Amino acid sequence: MASEAGALAGRVALITGGTRGIGRAIAETYAAAGASVCVVARKQPELDATVAALTARGAAATSWRGSAGEPEVVDGAVEHCIATLGGLDVLVNNAATNPYLGPTVDLPGSALEKVLAVNVAGPVRWVQAAWHSWMAEHGGVIINVASIGGLRTSPGIGIYNVSKAALLHLTRQLAGELAPTVRVNAIAPGLVRTDMARALWEPNEEAANRMQPLGRIGEPDDIASAALYLASDVSSWMTGETLVLDGGTLIR
């Protein structure tokens, strides 16, 4: 694609779960590409550190604290982003949770409610707020960070996978509803070196690498590069699609 420098100049991006892992990498990549960035997360020290890092790159940056699954956080963050940075051109639904590991039939009700609130209802609310507050009039781009778990079954994380399958379908549904002024696409990462996925790669990273046809697990920057492509004009004729970035996992 075109050079990253200036690819998002003059645009404003809001990224949920924007202080760690994939979200942080996307925030830094967007800032390097000229965007102003608002990050949303639950912990103030992490928000402060991320904003400091983005401003050190010369980007305009701000933050909003709270859980991406709470309606009042959604409304407050979108209002703050527009008021502080002057718009909302790119929304990245990256925040997710997975509080349960085990058989789906034994899933506690509290874990079910949390997964659905953050991973499914949350993105719906973020899109609604972005649309009604800015994108309906000005257009924009929405990127949903899903998972290859939404394309297959796997033991232990069944409800997480179900929530990501719902997010992939939501991507297609919204792409049809919001065209032609707003493009909506998704990214489905495989195993990436993040804190959230630590239990899957840290106990035996060498074995995890061998399981990938390309010989390694993913890095947050791998996903951020795809998020830049989807946010930029280079992908201007693309909507309703899912980019699978998994090192070849699904071909085996």
pLDDT, tens only, 76-99: 999 999 999 999 999 999 999 999
Q: Is the pLDDT of residue 52 over 50?
A: yes
* Residue whose structure tokens are 């899933």: 107
Note the pLDDT tens digit of each residue in 202-215: 788 888 898 899 99
pTM for this entry: 0.96
Q: Which domains are delineated in the chain?
A: 12-245 (3.40.50.720)
Q: Is the pLDDT of residue 116 over 80?
A: yes
Tokens of 139: 């257009």
Alpha carbon distance 4, 247 (integer Å): 23
Report the percent of the chain where pLDDT is more than 90.
89
Burial tier of 60 (Cβ tally within 10 Å: 0-12, 13-18, 19+): middle
Whether residue 82 contacts residue 100, with contact meaning beta carbons closer than 8 Å, is answered with no
Whether residue 164 contacts residue 170, with contact meaning beta carbons closer than 8 Å, is answered with no
The phi and psi torsions of 28 (rounded to 5 degrees) equal: -70, -40
Alpha carbon distance 47, 54 (integer Å): 11
Alpha carbon distance 192, 108 (integer Å): 27
Please state whether beta strands 182-189 and 242-245 pair in parallel, antiparallel, or not at all (unpaired).
parallel
Query: Residue 99: enclosing H or E segment and its boundaries?
Result: none
Alpha-helical regions (H) of 117-204: 122-130, 136-138, 158-178, 198-201
Query: Other CB atoms closer than 10 Å to residue 217's CB: what's the count?
Result: 22
CA 55 to chain CA centroid, nearest Å: 21
Residues with a known catalytic role: 160
Note the pLDDT tens digit of each residue in 223-233: 999 999 999 99
According to the model, what pLDDT value does residue 224 have? 97
Q: Is the pLDDT of residue 3 over 60?
A: no
